[in-house]
């Protein structure tokens, strides 16, 4: 018989697992890993409303995507265009970034799988006599290691020609040059930290759902057990 067990710690672990998976996925897909040096407006780029030159803009560069500004000569306006600069894996700008993409993708797939499974831990707490919380916590720890490897290798690719075109000639491995780090990089770091927190907290979720109080309510015949 399925017993639906909801505790404060198990629900918090489930929510954190889902948040971490989405945060890492959004960061990976974003083009805001590097913020390039300012591109000055040309003499033809004039704001029609004020008559003055528009503000310089900062193009952004991701692992496989980029955002840049394009001009519409006939419409006298400029739009920001975002999309992948690499049509396939081999066109990613640096071998280090290719390795980063692999490590992050593997870590994110594990996190997404754990986030999916975590939703069902309210009803299923063990598989083949093994705690599903402990198994998921172990997987999150493994995913965190993959994420760390990807984040360590990413700055090694700052010396590639693509990064130099955005960050200037002073850019090299682990040196930003004229660029700055974007929100996606910090989100990936924050998500990695939270991944390890989730891995540790999964043990608390296991303790909460197998406590004596839970067992007492199961013995009383309750199918829905809520301990908040």
Digit-coded pLDDT (tens) for 158-215: 999 999 999 989 989 999 989 999 999 999 999 999 999 999 999 988 887 776 676 6
Domain containing residue 149: 4-36+92-225
Residue 19 falls inside a structural domain:
yes
Residue 53 falls inside a structural domain:
no
Residue 218 falls inside a structural domain:
yes
Residue 71 falls inside a structural domain:
no
Residue 64 structure tokens = 């496989």
75 Cα distance to chain centroid: 37
What CATH number is attached to the domain comprising 199? Answer: 1.20.140.150
Instruction: Write down how long the chain is.
Output: 228
> Given pLDDT bands bounded at 50, 70 and 90, which one contains residue 142?
very high
Partners of residue 225 on adjacent β-strands? 5
For the question of whether the overall pTM of this predicted structure is more than 0.75, the answer is yes
| pLDDT at site 6 | 74
H or E stretch including 168? Answer: none
Residue 66 falls inside a structural domain:
no
Q: Count of domains in the chain? A: 1
94 with 160: CB under 8 angstroms?
yes
Residue 146 falls inside a structural domain:
yes
Residue 63 structure tokens = 């692992």
């Amino acid at each position: 018989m399925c017993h639906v067990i909801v505790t404060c710690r198990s629900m918090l672990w489930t929510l954190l697992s889902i948040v971490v998976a989405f945060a890492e996925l959004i960061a990976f897909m974003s083009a805001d890993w590097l913020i390039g040096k300012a591109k000055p407006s040309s003499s033809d780029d004039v704001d029609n409303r004020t008559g003055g030159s528009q503000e310089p803009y900062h193009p952004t560069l991701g692992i496989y995507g980029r955002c840049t500004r394009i001009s519409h000569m006939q419409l006298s306006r400029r739009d920001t265009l975002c999309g992948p600069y690499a049509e396939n894996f081999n066109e990613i700008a640096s071998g280090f970034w290719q390795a980063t993409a692999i490590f992050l993708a593997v870590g994110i797939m594990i996190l997404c799988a754990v986030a999916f499974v975590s939703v069902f831990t309210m009803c299923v707490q063990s598989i083949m006599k093994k705690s599903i919380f402990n198994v998921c916590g172990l997987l999150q720890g493994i995913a965190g290691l993959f994420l760390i490897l990807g984040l360590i290798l990413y700055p090694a690719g700052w010396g590639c020609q693509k990064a130099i075109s955005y960050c200037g000639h002073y850019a090299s491995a682990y040196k930003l040059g004229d660029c700055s780090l974007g929100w996606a990089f910090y989100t990936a770091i924050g998500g990695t930290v939270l991944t390890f927190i989730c891995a540790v907290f999964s043990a608390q979720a296991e303790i909460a759902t197998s406590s004596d109080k839970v067992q007492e309510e199961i013995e009383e015949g309750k199918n829905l057990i809520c301990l908040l």
